[in-house]
Amino acid sequence: MHDRRSFSQDRLAALSEELEPVRDILDSNGLCVYATGSYGRLEAGPDSDIDLFFLHDAGRDVEFPYTELVLVMARLIEAAKDLGFPPFTRHGRFLTVQSVATVEEVLGSPEDDSLNAFTARLLLLLESRPVSDERPYRGLLERVLCFYYRDFEDHAEDFVPVFLLNDILRFWRTLTLNYEHHRLKILQLAGAERERKKADSALKNYKLKVSRLTTCFSMAAHLGSSPVPVTLDEVLRLCELTPRERLAELGASNASAADVVRQLEERYVAFLDVTQRPEAEAVDQFLDPDERKRALDEARGYGDLIFELVTLVCPPERMRYFVV
């Protein structure tokens, strides 16, 4: 864990330094660049790609200056290439800017998904690290978290952020549904192409059932078990931890959960050994039906442990929020 963490931090710092030529643009427009995925979780390896999001502190009707956005994107693309990062997914198609005001306004609406605000918001809270300056990143993180604390003053003594918990659970279920949607495309293929796509789909399933599950439920378990009132400062602190650090805290604070957390960490390290290789090499492993079954069985067992952890740390009255 330490080597991956140090590697991730060093690479993020190097990318941040490369943004110096456009620092004035970032600062003058209140633009925050943050990494998610394996870099956001501080567990990246040499073959890990980097997922970047952009959030700026302006009203919904204030567009980020297009020419300045082009300069920032060009600097990032050039810097990522110079530093040896893999190419951005779909040639940078997802490198778009979100306004924090828009993210708040569309929360829970049909636009939440279509504008990609839902994903940008949840990944910011659950598994992100700043690439641009730390101060505006933390300010925007706190501002987004405040969306879920509108009713705190009315329930100051016993507040539980059920709104946030519901959004996290919605995010998890959306991820699982999106996976099922992508699987449909495999049915249209045949022969070797279908087998390779099937292996690629199984690898995505494996990642979904381990890393994505951990991202979501390491926070959900805390929200379901933290003493009331669950304050904004406490959740902000949890947002600044990695998912595995959140799990470790649950094990340290609850003796009955300690062994479950230990098993989760052991399985997670094994998961990283499988997934942190060149993509083609990982897919090759999943072409073998026996290897594929073994990995997915491990993932199901990991999910069983996450469920056991949640039931151990969350009292019955809080477990209700996970079901109803």
**Digit-coded pLDDT (tens) for 189-228:** 999 999 999 999 999 999 999 999 999 999 999 999 999 9
18 vs 79: CA distance, rounded Å: 6
* 162, pLDDT greater than 70: yes
123-137 residue pLDDT tens = 999 999 999 989 899
pLDDT band at 256, cuts 50/70/90? very high
141 and 167, same domain (yes or no): no
Q: Does pTM surpass 0.85?
A: yes
Rounded average pLDDT over 133-155: 95
* 321, pLDDT greater than 90: yes
CA distances from 14 to 82, 191, 237, 258 (A): 11, 43, 25, 36
Q: Are 98 and 123 in contact (CB under 8 A)?
A: no
299 and 188, same domain (yes or no): yes
115 and 145, same domain (yes or no): yes
279 vs 301: CA distance, rounded Å: 24
Which pLDDT score is estimated for 187?
A: 82
* 105, pLDDT greater than 90: yes
187 and 305, same domain (yes or no): yes
107 vs 121: CA distance, rounded Å: 9
C-alpha atoms less than 13 angstroms from C-alpha of 13 in its C-beta half-sphere: 6
97 and 239, same domain (yes or no): no
- Domain tally, the chain: 2
141 and 242, same domain (yes or no): no
Which pLDDT score is estimated for 1?
A: 52
Which pLDDT score is estimated for 91?
A: 62
111 and 256, same domain (yes or no): no
215 vs 5: CA distance, rounded Å: 16
Which pLDDT score is estimated for 92?
A: 64
% of the chain residues with pLDDT over 90: 86
Average confidence score pLDDT of the chain: 94
Could you list the residue range(s) of the whole structural domain that residue 232 is in? 153-323
* 29, pLDDT greater than 90: no
DSSP-derived secondary structure letter, 59: -
* 139, pLDDT greater than 60: yes
229 preceded by cis ω (within 30°)?
A: yes
Rounded average pLDDT over 101-120: 93
53-95 residue pLDDT tens = 999 987 666 778 889 999 999 999 999 999 999 988 766 666 7
Q: Residue 53 pairs with which residues in a beta bridge?
A: 34
The DSSP secondary structure of 76-126, one letter per residue, reads HHHHHHHTTPPPPGGGGTT--EEEHHHHHHTTTSHHHHHTTHHHHHHHHHH
Which pLDDT score is estimated for 43?
A: 97
E strand or H helix that includes residue 55: strand 51-56
Cβ neighbours for 40, distance < 8 A, ≥ 6 positions apart: 34, 51, 123, 127, 128, 129
115 and 166, same domain (yes or no): no
